[in-house]
Amino acid sequence: MTEKLKAKTFLEPGHIPLCVFRMPYVDWSRKIHSHDFHEMMIVVGGVAIHHMGDSHATISMGDLFVIPPGHMHGYDVLENSGVQVLNVLFDLKELKMSMRDLEQIPGFHALFSVKLSNHHEPHLKLPAKDLAFINSIIEAIEMEQEEMAPGYEFYCETKLRELMVFLARRYSHVATPEGKNVLKLGELISYMEKHLGEDLRFEKLAEVVRMSPTALRRTFQEAFACSPMAYLQQLRVKKALLLLADPSKSISDVAFDVGFNDSGYFSRVFKQETNETPKEFRTHI
């Protein structure tokens, strides 16, 4: 019998029906289940198998799903994948938010209102800069819910609106990535994450997944709308965002730790992905 999770288990009665979980899933899996609330699932590291009704797909850093009430899904974690997931749970009916012109964004309906089949969860593949922005919104919600200062519920609802607008606009312009050899690509991404500090050449990546360079380039582009090396660049910037929070590390040290031998080139790549230089990013950590 499929497990059905109830909002009252996760969303505290009498408070804003919104909560956040940060979960490092080590040797963890969740059997097929459904729930009577929305779940936004954001993969921030590692690789897992996401089951959606009678289908499944490999998911990795940057994958974002919106699972509406009543849909069945679950997870299997790949061994030693170090998968980490951010879950945002909320009850749109209980929030009673005015959607106003938000409903004019096609992506809003695709993500939050259209009833898709169980094997077509609304899905985005987000670059590092988008993940960093989303994480900043979620951190603000977490902080407000922890302190519970007067007005925190209004503030949290405002931040949720901001998150919904951001994702709806992204979804209006980004097609759900579909591709072949998904498991091989998942293995490749896991390999990238584990070897970010090394000199990873494209030929080496093709060798890791036992594919010809041409096949890997085509398959990866179909699945993730970018080249393997561009995706590797996003992973390195994502890791750099975390390392830059440590004031004891110089920008050159961070650049070296994520696989850049030239700090000037690292700064250019970082700005390309985040619209800020590493130095500018550090001013508001």
Q: What is the mean pLDDT of the chain?
A: 82
- Please state the domain extents for the chain: 3-171, 182-282
Helix (H, G, I), strand (E, B) or coil at 256: helix
Per residue in 263-280, pLDDT (tens digit) is: 899 999 999 999 999 999
Per-residue tokens: 27? 């040797």
Per residue in 24-58, pLDDT (tens digit) is: 654 456 678 888 999 999 998 888 888 887 778 88
List residues bridging with 34 in a β-sheet. 4
Q: Which residues of the chain have pLDDT under 50?
A: 26-27, 114-119, 175-183
Q: Which residue has the tokens 């499944």?
A: 56
Axis crossing angle, helix 228-243 with helix 263-274, rounded to the nearest 10 = 100
pLDDT of residue 59: 87
| Residue of 135, 173, 152, 170 whose CA lies nearest to 44 | 135
HEC-encoded secondary structure of 121-132? CCEEECCHHHHH
List residues bridging with 12 in a β-sheet. none
182-282: CATH architecture: Orthogonal Bundle (1.10)
Per-residue tokens: 222? 């179909």
3-171: CATH architecture: Sandwich (2.60)
Burial class (CB within 10 angstroms; exposed 0-12, middle 13-18, buried 19+) of 261 = exposed
List residues bridging with 76 in a β-sheet. 29, 49
Nearest-angstrom CA–CA distance, 25 and 40: 16
DSSP letters of 3-47? EEE-HHHHS-TTS-SEEEEEEE-SS-EEEEEEESSEEEEEEEESE
Per residue in 234-269, pLDDT (tens digit) is: 889 988 998 998 889 999 999 999 999 888 999 999
Reported residue count of the chain is 285
pLDDT of residue 183: 46
pLDDT of residue 44: 87
AA letter at 76: D
